[in-house]
Amino acid sequence: MSQKKKYLLWLNGILLAIILVHSFYRDSQLEKQYPPDLRNRIVGARLQKDGILPYNYFYDPADGWRYFDPSNHALKSSGCNNVTASPFFHELLMPFCELPERTLSRMWMWMEYLVLVIIAGLAIASTQDNIKRWLIINVAVLFTMTEAWIVLIERGQLYLFAALLLSLIFFLMTGRRKFAPGFAGLLTVVFILIRPIGLVLLIPFLPAFRKYRVFLLTTVAALGVYVLFVLSSPWEKSLYSNYFSNMQLQVLAHQGLLPPAGRQEFNMFEADLEGYDYHEVLLERAKHPIVTYSENGNIFEFYLQATGEYIPLPLLNALFAGSLLILTAAFWYRHRNHPADTSLTLLFGMVLYIVTEIFSPVNRHQYYTVEWFPIVLFSIPLLSGHTRMVAWLLFTGLLLNICNISWIPMRHTLGEFCWVAAILMLTRVKPAADQRYRSPYLPNE
Cβ atoms within 10 Å of 132's Cβ, excluding its own: 19
Nearest residue to 250 (alpha-carbon basis) of 94, 68, 86, 97: 86
Q: What is the pLDDT of residue 44?
A: 95
Q: What is the pLDDT of residue 261?
A: 67
Give pTM, 2 decimals: 0.92
Q: Is residue 262 left, alpha or beta, with left meaning phi > 0 and alpha meaning psi from -120 to 50?
A: beta
Q: What is the pLDDT of residue 442?
A: 32
User: Cβ contacts of residue 443 below 8 Å, gap of 6+?
Assistant: none
Measured distance CA(53)–CA(55) in Å, rounded: 6
CB 363 within 8 A of CB 235: no
Q: What is the pLDDT of residue 440?
A: 33
Measured distance CA(302)–CA(419) in Å, rounded: 18
Q: What is the pLDDT of residue 394?
A: 96
Please list the rounded mean pLDDT of every run of 10 residues in the chain (445 residues): 82 95 96 93 95 90 88 74 93 94 95 97 94 96 97 95 97 88 96 96 93 96 97 96 92 82 76 88 91 90 89 94 95 84 94 96 94 96 87 96 89 95 85 40 32
Domain ranges of the chain: 22-257+267-437
Cβ atoms within 10 Å of 256's Cβ, excluding its own: 10
Residue 334: alpha-carbon gap to chain centroid: 28
Q: What is the pLDDT of residue 71?
A: 86
Q: Which one-letter DSSP state was computed for residue 191? A: H
Nearest residue to 188 (alpha-carbon basis) of 202, 177, 171: 202
User: What burial letters (b/e) apply to 155-169, b meaning 16+ CB within 10 Å?
Assistant: bbbbbbbbbbbbbbb
CB 197 within 8 A of CB 353: yes
Residues 371-427: pLDDT tens digits? Answer: 999 999 999 999 987 788 999 999 999 999 999 888 888 899 999 999 999 999 998
